[in-house]
Protein backbone atom coordinates (compact mmCIF):
# COMPACT_ATOMS: atom_id res chain seq x y z
CA UNK A 1 0.00 0.00 0.00
CA UNK A 2 1.32 3.45 -0.79
CA UNK A 3 2.50 5.34 2.26
CA UNK A 4 0.46 8.43 1.52
CA UNK A 5 -2.66 6.32 1.27
CA UNK A 6 -1.87 4.73 4.60
CA UNK A 7 -1.57 8.19 6.07
CA UNK A 8 -4.86 9.27 4.54
CA UNK A 9 -6.38 6.10 5.91
CA UNK A 10 -5.30 6.95 9.44
CA UNK A 11 -6.51 10.52 9.21
CA UNK A 12 -9.68 10.00 7.18
CA UNK A 13 -11.07 6.63 8.17
CA UNK A 14 -12.94 7.89 11.25
CA UNK A 15 -14.39 10.78 9.25
CA UNK A 16 -15.49 8.42 6.51
CA UNK A 17 -17.15 6.13 9.05
CA UNK A 18 -18.85 9.13 10.61
CA UNK A 19 -20.11 10.17 7.17
CA UNK A 20 -21.31 6.68 6.31
CA UNK A 21 -22.86 6.10 9.70
CA UNK A 22 -25.37 8.91 9.10
CA UNK A 23 -26.40 7.08 5.96
CA UNK A 24 -26.58 3.45 7.03
CA UNK A 25 -27.06 3.98 10.79
CA UNK A 26 -25.03 0.95 11.69
CA UNK A 27 -21.47 1.44 12.82
CA UNK A 28 -20.19 -1.96 11.73
CA UNK A 29 -21.76 -1.58 8.34
CA UNK A 30 -20.30 1.91 8.06
CA UNK A 31 -16.84 0.54 8.87
CA UNK A 32 -17.19 -2.24 6.33
CA UNK A 33 -18.16 0.25 3.64
CA UNK A 34 -15.34 2.61 4.61
CA UNK A 35 -12.81 -0.19 4.39
CA UNK A 36 -14.18 -1.25 1.06
CA UNK A 37 -13.85 2.33 -0.21
CA UNK A 38 -10.20 2.42 0.84
CA UNK A 39 -9.57 -0.96 -0.67
CA UNK A 40 -10.94 0.34 -3.96
CA UNK A 41 -8.76 3.42 -3.67
CA UNK A 42 -5.72 1.15 -3.53
CA UNK A 43 -6.73 -0.29 -6.88
CA UNK A 44 -7.97 2.86 -8.60
CA UNK A 45 -5.29 5.22 -7.30
CA UNK A 46 -7.44 8.34 -7.70
CA UNK A 47 -5.69 11.69 -7.85
CA UNK A 48 -7.66 13.38 -5.14
CA UNK A 49 -8.02 10.51 -2.73
CA UNK A 50 -10.09 12.11 -0.03
CA UNK A 51 -12.75 13.50 -2.33
CA UNK A 52 -12.81 10.27 -4.30
CA UNK A 53 -13.29 8.23 -1.14
CA UNK A 54 -16.36 10.19 -0.15
CA UNK A 55 -17.88 9.91 -3.60
CA UNK A 56 -17.38 6.16 -3.65
CA UNK A 57 -18.57 5.80 -0.07
CA UNK A 58 -21.71 7.81 -0.79
CA UNK A 59 -22.49 5.58 -3.76
CA UNK A 60 -21.93 2.42 -1.77
CA UNK A 61 -24.14 3.70 1.03
CA UNK A 62 -26.90 4.43 -1.46
CA UNK A 63 -26.68 0.95 -2.94
CA UNK A 64 -26.64 -0.44 0.56
CA UNK A 65 -29.77 1.48 1.50
CA UNK A 66 -31.54 0.22 -1.61
CA UNK A 67 -30.62 -3.34 -0.80
CA UNK A 68 -31.80 -2.91 2.76
CA UNK A 69 -35.08 -1.49 1.52
CA UNK A 70 -35.52 -4.46 -0.80
CA UNK A 71 -34.85 -6.85 2.04
CA UNK A 72 -37.36 -5.07 4.21
CA UNK A 73 -39.99 -5.37 1.50
CA UNK A 74 -39.33 -9.08 1.22
CA UNK A 75 -39.94 -9.51 4.87
CA UNK A 76 -42.94 -7.31 5.46
CA UNK A 77 -45.24 -10.27 5.85
CA UNK A 78 -42.90 -12.15 8.06
CA UNK A 79 -41.37 -9.78 10.46
CA UNK A 80 -41.86 -8.14 13.66
CA UNK A 81 -38.69 -6.12 14.00
CA UNK A 82 -36.99 -6.90 17.24
CA UNK A 83 -37.51 -4.17 19.74
CA UNK A 84 -34.53 -2.07 20.64
CA UNK A 85 -32.53 -3.43 23.51
CA UNK A 86 -33.69 -2.55 26.97
CA UNK A 87 -30.69 -0.86 28.44
CA UNK A 88 -29.92 1.60 31.12
CA UNK A 89 -31.81 4.86 30.90
CA UNK A 90 -28.82 6.66 29.54
CA UNK A 91 -28.46 4.37 26.56
CA UNK A 92 -32.17 4.57 25.87
CA UNK A 93 -31.98 8.31 26.01
CA UNK A 94 -28.98 8.44 23.67
CA UNK A 95 -30.74 6.12 21.28
CA UNK A 96 -33.84 8.30 21.32
CA UNK A 97 -31.75 11.38 20.63
CA UNK A 98 -29.95 9.66 17.80
CA UNK A 99 -33.19 8.58 16.29
CA UNK A 100 -34.56 12.13 16.57
CA UNK A 101 -31.51 13.52 14.80
CA UNK A 102 -31.89 10.85 12.17
CA UNK A 103 -35.51 11.81 11.61
CA UNK A 104 -34.52 15.46 11.38
CA UNK A 105 -31.73 14.70 8.90
CA UNK A 106 -34.15 12.78 6.75
CA UNK A 107 -36.28 15.87 6.38
CA UNK A 108 -33.48 17.74 4.64
CA UNK A 109 -33.23 17.70 0.88
CA UNK A 110 -30.68 15.16 -0.35
CA UNK A 111 -28.32 17.91 -1.44
CA UNK A 112 -28.52 19.86 1.81
CA UNK A 113 -27.99 16.68 3.78
CA UNK A 114 -25.05 15.62 1.66
CA UNK A 115 -23.30 18.95 2.01
CA UNK A 116 -23.89 19.02 5.75
CA UNK A 117 -22.58 15.49 6.26
CA UNK A 118 -19.54 16.12 4.08
CA UNK A 119 -18.71 19.25 6.05
CA UNK A 120 -19.22 17.41 9.31
CA UNK A 121 -16.90 14.67 8.07
CA UNK A 122 -14.16 17.25 7.65
CA UNK A 123 -14.24 18.10 3.95
CA UNK A 124 -13.39 21.64 2.91
CA UNK A 125 -15.71 23.87 0.89
CA UNK A 126 -13.53 23.19 -2.14
CA UNK A 127 -13.79 19.45 -1.69
CA UNK A 128 -17.52 19.67 -1.12
CA UNK A 129 -17.94 21.82 -4.23
CA UNK A 130 -15.97 19.34 -6.33
CA UNK A 131 -17.91 16.40 -5.02
CA UNK A 132 -21.41 17.84 -5.25
CA UNK A 133 -20.99 19.99 -8.34
CA UNK A 134 -22.05 23.07 -6.41
CA UNK A 135 -20.30 26.36 -7.06
CA UNK A 136 -17.89 27.00 -4.25
CA UNK A 137 -19.77 30.17 -3.33
CA UNK A 138 -22.97 28.16 -2.93
CA UNK A 139 -21.55 25.82 -0.32
CA UNK A 140 -21.90 28.35 2.50
CA UNK A 141 -25.49 29.14 1.52
CA UNK A 142 -26.33 25.44 1.34
CA UNK A 143 -24.74 24.80 4.71
CA UNK A 144 -26.58 27.71 6.27
CA UNK A 145 -29.90 26.33 5.04
CA UNK A 146 -29.07 22.75 5.97
CA UNK A 147 -28.05 23.67 9.50
CA UNK A 148 -31.13 25.79 10.05
CA UNK A 149 -33.43 23.06 8.78
CA UNK A 150 -31.73 20.41 10.87
CA UNK A 151 -32.08 22.45 14.04
CA UNK A 152 -35.69 23.35 13.23
CA UNK A 153 -36.68 19.81 12.32
CA UNK A 154 -35.12 18.47 15.50
CA UNK A 155 -36.95 21.05 17.63
CA UNK A 156 -40.22 20.27 15.84
CA UNK A 157 -39.69 16.57 16.50
CA UNK A 158 -39.19 17.22 20.19
CA UNK A 159 -42.31 19.35 20.33
CA UNK A 160 -44.37 16.65 18.64
CA UNK A 161 -43.15 14.07 21.10
CA UNK A 162 -44.09 16.23 24.03
CA UNK A 163 -47.55 16.73 22.59
CA UNK A 164 -47.90 13.03 21.93
CA UNK A 165 -46.93 12.24 25.49
CA UNK A 166 -49.35 14.85 26.78
CA UNK B 1 -31.60 42.36 3.46
CA UNK B 2 -29.91 45.03 1.41
CA UNK B 3 -27.09 44.33 -1.00
CA UNK B 4 -24.59 45.93 1.30
CA UNK B 5 -25.41 43.50 4.09
CA UNK B 6 -23.87 40.05 4.20
CA UNK B 7 -25.95 36.97 3.53
CA UNK B 8 -26.16 33.86 5.67
CA UNK B 9 -24.02 31.88 3.27
CA UNK B 10 -21.18 34.35 3.67
CA UNK B 11 -21.56 34.33 7.43
CA UNK B 12 -21.37 30.56 7.51
CA UNK B 13 -18.40 30.49 5.20
CA UNK B 14 -16.75 33.12 7.37
CA UNK B 15 -17.46 31.23 10.59
CA UNK B 16 -16.32 27.99 8.96
CA UNK B 17 -13.03 29.69 8.08
CA UNK B 18 -13.75 29.14 4.41
CA UNK B 19 -14.33 32.67 3.17
CA UNK B 20 -11.56 33.81 0.84
CA UNK B 21 -9.29 36.36 2.50
CA UNK B 22 -10.42 39.37 0.48
CA UNK B 23 -14.08 38.66 1.15
CA UNK B 24 -13.39 38.07 4.81
CA UNK B 25 -11.85 41.52 5.12
CA UNK B 26 -14.84 43.11 3.42
CA UNK B 27 -17.20 41.25 5.71
CA UNK B 28 -15.32 42.24 8.82
CA UNK B 29 -15.35 45.84 7.70
CA UNK B 30 -19.12 45.66 7.27
CA UNK B 31 -19.65 43.97 10.62
CA UNK B 32 -17.67 46.76 12.24
CA UNK B 33 -20.29 49.29 11.25
CA UNK B 34 -23.49 47.20 11.20
CA UNK B 35 -24.88 46.03 14.55
CA UNK B 36 -27.68 44.15 12.78
CA UNK B 37 -25.20 41.98 10.90
CA UNK B 38 -23.16 41.50 14.07
CA UNK B 39 -26.31 40.21 15.70
CA UNK B 40 -26.88 37.85 12.81
CA UNK B 41 -23.31 36.68 13.00
CA UNK B 42 -23.88 35.60 16.59
CA UNK B 43 -27.16 33.92 15.65
CA UNK B 44 -25.45 31.96 12.92
CA UNK B 45 -22.57 31.08 15.23
CA UNK B 46 -25.10 29.62 17.68
CA UNK B 47 -26.89 27.81 14.86
CA UNK B 48 -23.65 26.23 13.65
CA UNK B 49 -22.83 25.14 17.19
CA UNK B 50 -26.31 23.67 17.66
CA UNK B 51 -26.21 21.80 14.35
CA UNK B 52 -22.80 20.44 15.32
CA UNK B 53 -24.18 19.25 18.65
CA UNK B 54 -27.07 17.49 16.97
CA UNK B 55 -24.79 15.78 14.49
CA UNK B 56 -22.55 14.72 17.36
CA UNK B 57 -25.58 13.10 18.99
CA UNK B 58 -25.87 10.97 15.89
CA UNK B 59 -22.19 10.14 15.70
CA UNK B 60 -21.05 6.54 15.63
CA UNK B 61 -19.45 5.25 18.80
CA UNK B 62 -15.71 5.86 18.84
CA UNK B 63 -13.79 2.78 17.79
CA UNK B 64 -10.28 1.90 16.88
CA UNK B 65 -9.32 2.24 13.27
CA UNK B 66 -9.09 -1.26 11.82
CA UNK B 67 -6.02 -2.32 9.83
CA UNK B 68 -5.69 -1.00 6.35
CA UNK B 69 -7.31 -3.25 3.75
CA UNK B 70 -4.85 -4.09 1.03
CA UNK B 71 -7.23 -5.30 -1.64
CA UNK B 72 -10.89 -4.73 -2.46
CA UNK B 73 -13.05 -6.81 -0.19
CA UNK B 74 -10.01 -7.61 1.88
CA UNK B 75 -11.40 -6.13 5.05
CA UNK B 76 -9.71 -7.74 8.00
CA UNK B 77 -11.54 -10.19 10.19
CA UNK B 78 -12.09 -8.68 13.60
CA UNK B 79 -9.64 -9.22 16.42
CA UNK B 80 -10.77 -11.86 18.91
CA UNK B 81 -11.98 -9.26 21.38
CA UNK B 82 -14.68 -8.27 18.94
CA UNK B 83 -16.22 -11.70 18.69
CA UNK B 84 -18.33 -11.51 21.78
CA UNK B 85 -19.94 -8.42 20.40
CA UNK B 86 -21.11 -10.42 17.40
CA UNK B 87 -20.14 -7.90 14.84
CA UNK B 88 -20.81 -8.28 11.16
CA UNK B 89 -17.31 -9.30 10.29
CA UNK B 90 -17.52 -11.97 12.91
CA UNK B 91 -20.80 -12.83 11.36
CA UNK B 92 -19.47 -13.06 7.90
CA UNK B 93 -16.79 -15.36 9.21
CA UNK B 94 -19.39 -17.41 11.00
CA UNK B 95 -21.54 -17.81 7.97
CA UNK B 96 -18.48 -18.55 5.89
CA UNK B 97 -17.42 -21.27 8.27
CA UNK B 98 -20.84 -22.71 7.90
CA UNK B 99 -20.48 -22.56 4.16
CA UNK B 100 -17.01 -23.98 3.97
CA UNK B 101 -17.65 -26.85 6.31
CA UNK B 102 -21.24 -27.39 5.45
CA UNK B 103 -21.01 -27.31 1.69
CA UNK B 104 -19.74 -30.81 1.38
CA UNK B 105 -21.62 -32.02 4.43
CA UNK B 106 -24.91 -30.83 3.00
CA UNK B 107 -27.70 -33.23 3.43
CA UNK B 108 -26.70 -33.71 7.03
CA UNK B 109 -27.80 -36.81 8.84
CA UNK B 110 -31.52 -36.70 9.10
CA UNK B 111 -33.58 -37.16 12.15
CA UNK B 112 -35.63 -40.26 12.33
CA UNK B 113 -39.12 -39.30 13.37
CA UNK B 114 -41.46 -41.84 14.84
CA UNK B 115 -42.36 -44.66 12.50
CA UNK B 116 -45.90 -43.58 11.55
CA UNK B 117 -44.52 -40.48 9.94
CA UNK B 118 -42.22 -42.36 7.66
CA UNK B 119 -44.90 -42.45 5.08
CA UNK B 120 -43.48 -39.52 3.24
CA UNK B 121 -42.71 -40.31 -0.34
CA UNK B 122 -39.54 -39.75 -2.30
CA UNK B 123 -38.96 -36.16 -3.42
CA UNK B 124 -40.45 -36.39 -6.87
CA UNK B 125 -43.46 -38.48 -6.12
CA UNK B 126 -46.74 -36.79 -6.65
CA UNK B 127 -48.73 -35.73 -3.69
CA UNK B 128 -51.36 -38.38 -4.39
CA UNK B 129 -48.95 -41.14 -3.52
CA UNK B 130 -47.90 -39.65 -0.25
CA UNK B 131 -50.30 -41.25 2.14
CA UNK B 132 -50.26 -44.71 0.61
CA UNK B 133 -47.00 -45.45 -1.03
CA UNK B 134 -43.82 -46.06 0.82
CA UNK B 135 -40.69 -45.53 -1.20
CA UNK B 136 -38.38 -48.54 -1.14
CA UNK B 137 -35.55 -46.54 0.41
CA UNK B 138 -37.82 -45.45 3.14
CA UNK B 139 -37.97 -48.85 4.73
CA UNK B 140 -34.23 -49.17 4.69
CA UNK B 141 -33.90 -45.85 6.31
CA UNK B 142 -36.45 -46.62 8.93
CA UNK B 143 -34.41 -49.65 9.85
CA UNK B 144 -31.21 -47.73 9.92
CA UNK B 145 -32.65 -44.90 11.82
CA UNK B 146 -31.84 -44.75 15.51
CA UNK B 147 -34.54 -43.83 18.02
CA UNK B 148 -36.39 -40.62 17.44
CA UNK B 149 -34.44 -37.50 18.07
CA UNK B 150 -31.06 -39.00 17.32
CA UNK B 151 -28.95 -38.39 14.31
CA UNK B 152 -28.44 -41.14 11.83
CA UNK B 153 -24.91 -42.44 12.35
CA UNK B 154 -22.55 -42.73 9.42
CA UNK B 155 -25.13 -43.46 6.78
CA UNK B 156 -23.71 -43.46 3.31
CA UNK B 157 -24.07 -40.33 1.28
CA UNK B 158 -26.81 -41.58 -0.98
CA UNK B 159 -29.00 -42.78 1.81
CA UNK B 160 -28.47 -39.52 3.58
CA UNK B 161 -29.54 -37.46 0.64
CA UNK B 162 -32.66 -39.47 0.10
CA UNK B 163 -33.51 -39.39 3.75
CA UNK B 164 -32.90 -35.72 3.99
CA UNK B 165 -35.07 -35.12 0.98
CA UNK B 166 -37.77 -37.24 2.47
CA UNK B 167 -37.56 -35.54 5.75
CA UNK B 168 -37.72 -32.18 4.12
CA UNK B 169 -40.79 -33.05 2.24
CA UNK B 170 -42.43 -34.62 5.20
CA UNK B 171 -41.79 -31.70 7.47
CA UNK B 172 -42.88 -29.45 4.74
CA UNK B 173 -46.20 -31.17 4.71
CA UNK B 174 -46.68 -31.15 8.43
CA UNK B 175 -45.73 -27.52 8.63
CA UNK B 176 -48.61 -26.42 6.49
CA UNK B 177 -51.15 -25.80 9.22
CA UNK B 178 -48.87 -23.48 11.13
CA UNK B 179 -49.96 -19.96 10.22
CA UNK B 180 -46.94 -18.32 11.80
CA UNK B 181 -44.46 -19.75 9.42
CA UNK B 182 -46.60 -19.50 6.37
CA UNK B 183 -45.02 -16.50 4.64
CA UNK B 184 -41.54 -17.97 4.79
CA UNK B 185 -42.83 -21.36 3.86
CA UNK B 186 -44.49 -20.13 0.78
CA UNK B 187 -41.47 -18.29 -0.44
CA UNK B 188 -39.10 -21.11 0.24
CA UNK B 189 -41.37 -23.83 -0.89
CA UNK B 190 -41.68 -22.56 -4.42
CA UNK B 191 -39.76 -25.54 -5.79
CA UNK B 192 -41.99 -28.45 -4.86
CA UNK B 193 -45.25 -26.51 -4.85
CA UNK B 194 -47.57 -27.70 -2.13
CA UNK B 195 -50.74 -29.26 -3.35
CA UNK B 196 -53.97 -29.49 -1.47
CA UNK B 197 -53.60 -33.25 -1.51
CA UNK B 198 -50.21 -33.06 0.16
CA UNK B 199 -51.56 -30.74 2.77
CA UNK B 200 -54.47 -33.03 3.43
CA UNK B 201 -52.19 -36.00 3.65
CA UNK B 202 -50.06 -34.22 6.15
CA UNK B 203 -53.08 -33.27 8.17
CA UNK B 204 -54.39 -36.79 8.10
CA UNK B 205 -51.11 -38.24 9.29
CA UNK B 206 -50.55 -38.42 13.04
CA UNK B 207 -48.66 -35.38 14.22
CA UNK B 208 -44.96 -35.93 14.03
CA UNK B 209 -43.53 -35.80 17.52
CA UNK B 210 -40.48 -33.96 16.34
CA UNK B 211 -42.01 -31.56 13.89
CA UNK B 212 -42.99 -29.30 16.71
CA UNK B 213 -44.47 -25.95 15.97
CA UNK B 214 -42.18 -23.05 16.54
CA UNK B 215 -44.07 -20.12 17.94
CA UNK B 216 -42.94 -16.62 17.26
CA UNK B 217 -41.87 -14.83 20.39
CA UNK B 218 -40.97 -11.22 21.10
CA UNK B 219 -37.31 -10.39 20.77
CA UNK B 220 -37.20 -9.44 24.46
CA UNK B 221 -38.40 -12.89 25.41
CA UNK B 222 -35.68 -14.47 23.31
CA UNK B 223 -33.11 -12.29 24.99
CA UNK B 224 -34.37 -13.27 28.42
CA UNK B 225 -34.29 -16.96 27.45
CA UNK B 226 -30.67 -16.75 26.38
CA UNK B 227 -29.49 -14.20 28.88
CA UNK B 228 -27.75 -12.38 26.03
CA UNK B 229 -28.73 -10.69 22.81
CA UNK B 230 -29.65 -13.51 20.45
CA UNK B 231 -27.21 -13.89 17.59
CA UNK B 232 -28.44 -12.55 14.31
CA UNK B 233 -27.18 -11.09 11.09
CA UNK B 234 -27.14 -7.35 11.52
CA UNK B 235 -29.17 -5.11 9.24
CA UNK B 236 -31.62 -7.81 8.48
CA UNK B 237 -35.03 -8.20 10.06
CA UNK B 238 -35.16 -11.21 12.31
CA UNK B 239 -37.91 -13.28 13.84
CA UNK B 240 -37.33 -15.12 17.08
CA UNK B 241 -39.14 -18.39 17.71
CA UNK B 242 -39.23 -21.11 20.29
CA UNK B 243 -40.79 -24.49 20.58
CA UNK B 244 -41.90 -24.31 24.16
CA UNK B 245 -41.37 -22.17 27.19
CA UNK B 246 -39.63 -25.05 28.91
CA UNK B 247 -37.05 -25.60 26.23
CA UNK B 248 -34.50 -22.86 26.17
CA UNK B 249 -33.67 -22.92 22.52
CA UNK B 250 -34.17 -19.83 20.46
CA UNK B 251 -34.50 -19.97 16.72
CA UNK B 252 -33.73 -16.77 14.88
CA UNK B 253 -35.00 -16.76 11.33
CA UNK B 254 -33.78 -14.25 8.76
CA UNK B 255 -34.31 -14.02 5.06
CA UNK B 256 -31.90 -12.46 2.60
CA UNK B 257 -33.10 -10.56 -0.44
CA UNK B 258 -32.31 -13.60 -2.54
CA UNK B 259 -34.85 -15.62 -0.61
CA UNK B 260 -32.14 -17.57 1.14
CA UNK B 261 -33.16 -18.27 4.70
CA UNK B 262 -30.68 -18.29 7.54
CA UNK B 263 -31.68 -19.92 10.80
CA UNK B 264 -29.73 -19.71 13.99
CA UNK B 265 -30.45 -22.02 16.85
CA UNK B 266 -29.05 -20.88 20.11
CA UNK B 267 -29.14 -21.98 23.71
CA UNK B 268 -27.96 -20.22 26.83
CA UNK B 269 -24.19 -20.42 26.67
CA UNK B 270 -23.97 -22.71 29.70
CA UNK B 271 -26.10 -25.35 28.01
CA UNK B 272 -24.05 -25.90 24.93
CA UNK B 273 -25.12 -26.08 21.34
CA UNK B 274 -28.65 -27.03 20.42
CA UNK B 275 -28.91 -30.62 19.34
CA UNK B 276 -29.33 -31.87 15.84
CA UNK B 277 -32.98 -32.59 16.57
CA UNK B 278 -33.57 -28.90 16.99
CA UNK B 279 -32.62 -28.16 13.45
CA UNK B 280 -34.65 -30.97 12.04
CA UNK B 281 -37.71 -29.96 13.94
CA UNK B 282 -37.60 -26.52 12.46
CA UNK B 283 -39.57 -25.97 9.34
CA UNK B 284 -37.51 -27.11 6.42
CA UNK B 285 -38.58 -27.70 2.94
CA UNK B 286 -36.02 -26.63 0.44
CA UNK B 287 -34.17 -28.79 -1.99
CA UNK B 288 -31.38 -30.37 0.03
CA UNK B 289 -28.81 -29.30 -2.48
CA UNK B 290 -29.38 -25.78 -1.26
CA UNK B 291 -29.37 -26.41 2.42
CA UNK B 292 -26.47 -26.23 4.81
CA UNK B 293 -26.29 -26.80 8.50
CA UNK B 294 -23.31 -26.42 10.69
CA UNK B 295 -22.32 -25.74 14.23
CA UNK B 296 -20.29 -22.68 14.92
CA UNK B 297 -19.39 -22.54 18.54
CA UNK B 298 -22.61 -22.94 20.46
CA UNK B 299 -24.64 -21.85 17.54
CA UNK B 300 -26.31 -24.01 15.01
CA UNK B 301 -26.40 -22.25 11.65
CA UNK B 302 -28.63 -23.34 8.85
CA UNK B 303 -28.72 -21.76 5.45
CA UNK B 304 -31.49 -22.56 3.05
CA UNK B 305 -31.40 -21.48 -0.52
CA UNK B 306 -28.70 -20.23 -2.78
CA UNK B 307 -26.26 -17.68 -1.52
CA UNK B 308 -25.67 -15.06 -4.23
CA UNK B 309 -22.26 -15.27 -5.81
CA UNK B 310 -21.36 -11.78 -4.70
CA UNK B 311 -22.24 -12.54 -1.09
CA UNK B 312 -20.24 -15.71 -1.28
CA UNK B 313 -17.18 -13.98 -2.63
CA UNK B 314 -17.54 -11.15 -0.17
CA UNK B 315 -17.73 -13.59 2.66
CA UNK B 316 -14.74 -15.46 1.30
CA UNK B 317 -12.76 -12.27 1.12
CA UNK B 318 -13.71 -11.30 4.62
CA UNK B 319 -12.65 -14.60 6.05
CA UNK B 320 -9.23 -14.59 4.43
Nearest to A71 among B13, B58, B257 (CB): B257
Q: Which of A82, A113, A133 is the last residue of a domain?
A: A82
On whether both A59 and A93 belong to a single domain, the answer is no
Model confidence at A3, pLDDT cuts 50, 70, 90, reads low
On whether both A76 and A89 belong to a single domain, the answer is no
> For residue range B28-49, what is the model confidence (pLDDT) as tens digits?
999 999 999 999 999 999 999 9
Angstrom distance (rounded) from CA B36 to CA B16:
20
Closest CA to B253 of B236, B228, B268, B278: B236
Task: Return the residue in B41, B59, B215 with the most chain A beta carbons within 10 A, the one to mutate for interface testing.
Answer: B59
Give yes or no for A28 touching B (CB within 8 A).
yes
Percent of chain B scoring above 90 in pLDDT: 16
Q: What is the pLDDT of residue B158?
A: 47
Q: Check: CB of residue B288 under 8 Å from CB of residue B62.
A: no
Average pLDDT over residues B3-22: 90
Give yes or no for A159 touching B (CB within 8 A).
no
Residue A152 scores a pLDDT above 50: yes
**Under an 8 A CB cutoff, do B52 and A120 touch?**
yes
> For residue range B265-282, what is the model confidence (pLDDT) as tens digits?
777 766 665 554 444 333
Residue of A nearest to B59 (CA): A18
Domains contained in chain A, number: 2
Using an 8 Å CB-CB cutoff, list chain A residues near B52: 120
On whether both A11 and A54 belong to a single domain, the answer is yes
Name the range with the highest mean pLDDT among A25-29, B8-12, B289-293. Answer: B8-12
Please give the ipTM for the structure prediction. Answer: 0.82
Angstrom distance (rounded) from CA B314 to CA B93:
10
On whether both A47 and A96 belong to a single domain, the answer is no
Q: At what angle do helices B88-103 and A27-44 cross, to 10 degrees?
A: 80
- Closest approach of B252 to chain A, Cα-based (Å): 11
Task: Return the residue in B237, B255, B315, B319 with the most chain A beta carbons within 10 A, the one to mutate for interface testing.
Answer: B237
Q: Which of A48, A64, A82 is the last residue of a domain?
A: A82
Mean pLDDT of chain B: 62
**Under an 8 A CB cutoff, do A26 and B235 touch?**
yes
Residue B308 scores a pLDDT above 90: no
> For residue range A30-45, what is the model confidence (pLDDT) as tens digits?
999 999 999 999 888 8
Residue of A nearest to B239 (CA): A79
Q: Which range, of B8-22, B89-103, B221-235, averages the lowest pLDDT?
A: B89-103
Q: Check: CB of residue B165 under 8 Å from CB of residue B158.
A: no
**Under an 8 A CB cutoff, do B238 and A79 touch?**
yes
On whether both A4 and A70 belong to a single domain, the answer is yes
Contacts of residue B307, defined as CB under 8 A and 6 or more positions apart, other chains included, come to B99, B256, B258, B260, B315
On whether both A65 and A138 belong to a single domain, the answer is no
Nearest to B54 among A74, A104, A142 (CB): A104
On whether both A159 and A111 belong to a single domain, the answer is yes
> For residue range B136-159, what is the model confidence (pLDDT) as tens digits?
444 444 444 444 444 444 444 544
Q: Hey, which residues 106-145 in chain A have their CB within 8 Å of chain B?
A: 116-117, 119-120, 124-125, 137-145
On whether both A110 and A151 belong to a single domain, the answer is yes
Residue of A nearest to B70 (CA): A39
Using an 8 Å CB-CB cutoff, list chain A residues near B184: 78
On whether both A166 and A88 belong to a single domain, the answer is yes
On whether both A67 and A112 belong to a single domain, the answer is no
> For residue range A123-139, what is the model confidence (pLDDT) as tens digits?
999 999 998 999 999 99
On whether both A5 and A78 belong to a single domain, the answer is yes
For residue A90, give the CATH number of its domain: 1.10.10.10
Q: Which of A55, A82, A109 is the last residue of a domain?
A: A82
Structural domain boundaries, residue A102: 84-166
Residue of B nearest to A146 (CA): B51
On whether both A105 and A88 belong to a single domain, the answer is yes
Amino acid sequence: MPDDLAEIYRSTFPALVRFLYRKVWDVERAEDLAQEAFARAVVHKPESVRGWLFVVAANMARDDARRAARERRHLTLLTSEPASAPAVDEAVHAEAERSRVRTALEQLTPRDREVLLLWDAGLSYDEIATQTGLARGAVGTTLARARRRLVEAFAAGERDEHIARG
Amino acid sequence: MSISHVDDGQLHAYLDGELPQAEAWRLEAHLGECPACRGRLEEQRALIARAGELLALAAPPARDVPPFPSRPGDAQPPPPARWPARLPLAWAATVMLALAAGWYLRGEPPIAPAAPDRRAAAPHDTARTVPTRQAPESKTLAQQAPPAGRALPEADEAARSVAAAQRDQMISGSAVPNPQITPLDQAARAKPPPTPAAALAALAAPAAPLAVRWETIPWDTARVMLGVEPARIPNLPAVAKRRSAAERVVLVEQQLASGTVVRLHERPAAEGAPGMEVGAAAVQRVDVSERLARYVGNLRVEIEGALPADSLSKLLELVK
